[in-house]
Amino acid sequence: MNAADKLKLTVWLRRPRSSFGLLAGIASFVVLMSLAAWMEHAYDLMLSAPFTLITFLLVSIGTGIVVQHRFTLRLGDTLFNSPAQGWQRAWHQLSTRARESNILLAILLALCIGFPVTMFYAVQSIQTIVRDCQQDLESQAQLYEEQIPTTSFSRPLCECLSQQFLRQNGVVRLALFNTRILDITDFEGVTPTDEQVCLNSVLGVNVELLSRQTSPVRSWGALARMKPVRE
């Protein structure tokens, strides 16, 4: 074995580990699930028969194995069957692609983990805002003699206001609600226009007339300005 053969053997033992197989398997599973969702009957069949989902998983795994095997064969062909003077450049290109596939997989995993975590904390923030708003609204309504039962509409009203608060600040900022990363003053509060929109949508017509005639309704606007209070 000459020096060139020893060099190729060393390079082969240190060959780059790519993520093409995993990426191909994930892409295959996403495509199959998208096609099943597009075909309503197939999607219903998949939900009723778990074997369909297992078949999708097996097909995706098989696709990933084939793609990864093809890439490994290409590495071997480039290293051992290429001209003596040209294999280094081709090997460098394949190594770069393998490294890029690993970076792409890392980004994909970060998105797959970060998105549900962000949505979870955003939902928790929404629930906290709705609960506090509902409690404050009902406690404010009890201060007046002419009371309108708030149980039936306090939660829908607070949910509407929380959606307006979400629209003002976004999902990512809302996920950081009530944390040390963002201060309360960094959030955009709900505007009087948003409050009126929620009152109109929840209580129906003649909200302005109702607010002039009934004192509790007049206080809801001030109460609904949800500049959140840290617990």
Of the candidate ranges 112-121, 169-178, 182-191, the one whose mean pLDDT is the lowest:
182-191
| 90-106 exposure pattern, b = at least 16 Cβ within 10 A, e = fewer | bbeebbeebeebbeebe
Per-residue pLDDT for 225 more than 50?
A: no
- Residues 125-150 as b/e (b if ≥16 CB within 10 A, e otherwise) read bbeebbebbbebbeeebeeeeeeeeb
All residues at 6 or more sequence positions from 56 whose CB lies less than 8 Å from its CB, including other chains: 29, 32, 33, 36, 46
**How long a stretch of residues is the chain?**
231
Write down the pTM of the prediction: 0.60
Query: pLDDT, tens digit, for every residue of 178-208?
Result: 777 877 778 888 888 888 888 888 776 444 4
Residue range 75-104, pLDDT digits in tens? 888 877 766 667 778 888 888 888 899 999
What pLDDT is stored for residue 46 in this prediction? 63
pLDDT score for 32: 83
Enter the tokens of residue 173.
């900022």
pLDDT score at 61 = 92
